[in-house]
Amino acid sequence: MDGAPTLERLAGQDGPALRAAGAWTAQHAGAIERLVRDAERRARKEAAVEIDVSHIARLDTFGAWLIERLRRALTRENNAPRLTGLAEDYRGLVEAVRNAGNDAEPRQKEPGAIVLMLAAIGHAMSEVADTLIQLANMTGAIILAGLRIAVRPQTFRFTSLIHHMEQVGWRAVPIMVLITFLIGCIIAQQGIFHFRKFGADVYVVDMVGVLVLREIGVLIVAIMVAGRSGSAYTAELGSMKMREEIDALRTMGFDPVEVLIVPRVLALIIAMPILAFIGSMAALYGGGLVAWLYGGLQPDIFLSRLREAISLDHFKVGMIKAPFMAAVIGVIACLEGFNVRGSAESLGSHTTSSVVKSIFFVIVLDGVFAIFFASIGM
């Protein structure tokens, strides 16, 4: 009896039947698996109403499960084939296997490339929506904390404000000046190189002036601030979060937004217009220098041309944008810092995403301002 497993097709009492025989155990796993797979494949064409298991010599969980699989494959419109001749010893096992498999989910089809792509887009969109909600949340919390401070100014932490202004303002000046100076040089050089073909050298001054004051000065500074100070905010707050210092503040009755975020964001809002101004001046200086040394444009001509080309509006456009960009960078950086969870990886990834998101939102904001100023004619 205890022989190799077999599965035969034969005519039963009320229709075609399958008879399983031999040892249906894990030792013969390969053989039974093959038998059952063949039977399953044929099951669509060749139905069976009965599975005769009376000749099975030995049965273990593996065999019981394959019989159950066979039974499911042969099930037609909720009519499962009967299991006949099941030995009393094995009844419990077969029942258990039947019930165990019941709540298993049906195997899902691998989604296709298009579905995966759409799913990824959907995920990304819901992430963007999440970010926007969190930003609104954080902005609200900061405004609320700001109002509380306005009511009780003695609770404001001036030391912290000054400390952060030094960090993000004063200490950032050299690198900002260097970068914007170089950008001014490059714009002037490119302008002269290309305008010379049309004999329009002198308009380089218009281009440098307008571009630097309206866009480049503040935008370059904002991007630098996002990379330099925004990431520092995220890292500081994130590591405080990791060390549970923020929770400690809360248990001692502090509002972390009031204590940690308001001074930081305020420092950035104060520092950024100053940096944008210094940056714009450095860029104009660089532009003028290149125009003189490379384009042969005398400084006095440059200055008088500049006076004609630009108006106070251009300067205002750049300066008005600066504090808003600072606020966006500050809020995003602090939000990302607060979102850091226990691990060091989390700190790193939030710092990265702080920089990426800040730069993205700064550029979006710049676009919105461009539309706004165009429509009010500035």
Partner 1 sequence: MTIEARNIVKQFGAFRALDDVDLRVEGGELVALLGPSGSGKTTLLRIIAGLDWPDAGEVLFNGESALERGAGERNVGFVFQHYALFRHMSVFENVAFGLRVQPRRLRRSEADIRKRVNDLLDLVQIDWLANRYPGQLSGGQRQRVALARALAIEPRILLLDEPFGALDAKVRKELRRWLRSLHDDIHVTSLFVTHDQEEALEVADRIVVMDKGKIEQIGTPEDVYDNPATAFVHGFIGESIMLPVEVGGGQVRFGPKVLDLESGGAASGPSRLFVRRHDMVLGPAGNGTLEGAVKRVRAFGPILRADVALPGGDGETMIEVDAPRDRALKPGDIVGLKPRRYRIFAAQA
Site for partner 1, rule CB under 8 A? 243-245, 247-248, 250-255
Q: Which is nearer to partner 1, 199 or 253 (CB)?
A: 253
In the bound complex, what is the minimum distance in angstroms from residue 235's beta carbon to partner 1? 15
- Scanning the chain, the segments in alpha helix (DSSP H) are 29-43, 61-73, 88-102, 113-151, 158-168, 173-195, 203-211, 217-225, 231-242, 245-251, 256, 262-293, 299-309, 312-338, 344-376
Q: Which is nearer to partner 1, 232 or 297 (CB)?
A: 232
In the bound complex, what is the minimum distance in angstroms from residue 256's beta carbon to partner 1? 10
Around Cβ 33, how many Cβ atoms within 10 Å?
14
In the bound complex, what is the minimum distance in angstroms from residue 164's beta carbon to partner 1? 14
Q: Which is nearer to partner 1, 232 or 329 (CB)?
A: 232
In the bound complex, what is the minimum distance in angstroms from residue 287's beta carbon to partner 1? 43
In the bound complex, what is the minimum distance in angstroms from residue 260's beta carbon to partner 1? 12
Residue 26 DSSP symbol = G
Residues 278/280/284/285 CA torsion (nearest 10 deg): 20
Q: Which is nearer to partner 1, 130 or 308 (CB)?
A: 130
Q: Which is nearer to partner 1, 34 or 243 (CB)?
A: 243
In the bound complex, what is the minimum distance in angstroms from residue 136's beta carbon to partner 1? 20
Residue 79 DSSP symbol = B
Around Cβ 140, how many Cβ atoms within 10 Å?
11
Around Cβ 300, how many Cβ atoms within 10 Å?
8
As given in the structure block, the two tokens for residue 19 are: 């008879």
Q: Which is nearer to partner 1, 153 or 253 (CB)?
A: 253
Q: Are 193 and 207 in contact (CB under 8 A)?
A: no
Q: Which is nearer to partner 1, 102 or 251 (CB)?
A: 251
C-alpha–C-alpha distance, residues 9 and 18, integer Å:
5
| Distance, C-alpha 321 to centroid of its chain | 26
Q: Which is nearer to partner 1, 1 or 104 (CB)?
A: 104
In the bound complex, what is the minimum distance in angstroms from residue 115's beta carbon to partner 1? 22
In the bound complex, what is the minimum distance in angstroms from residue 99's beta carbon to partner 1? 10
How many angstroms separate the most distant Cα atoms in the chain?
112
SS3 51: strand
> What values do phi and psi take at 215, rounded to 5?
-120, -65
Residues 282/200/313/177 CA torsion (nearest 10 deg): -10
In the bound complex, what is the minimum distance in angstroms from residue 177's beta carbon to partner 1? 30
Q: Are 225 and 168 in contact (CB under 8 A)?
A: yes
Q: Which is nearer to partner 1, 201 or 255 (CB)?
A: 255
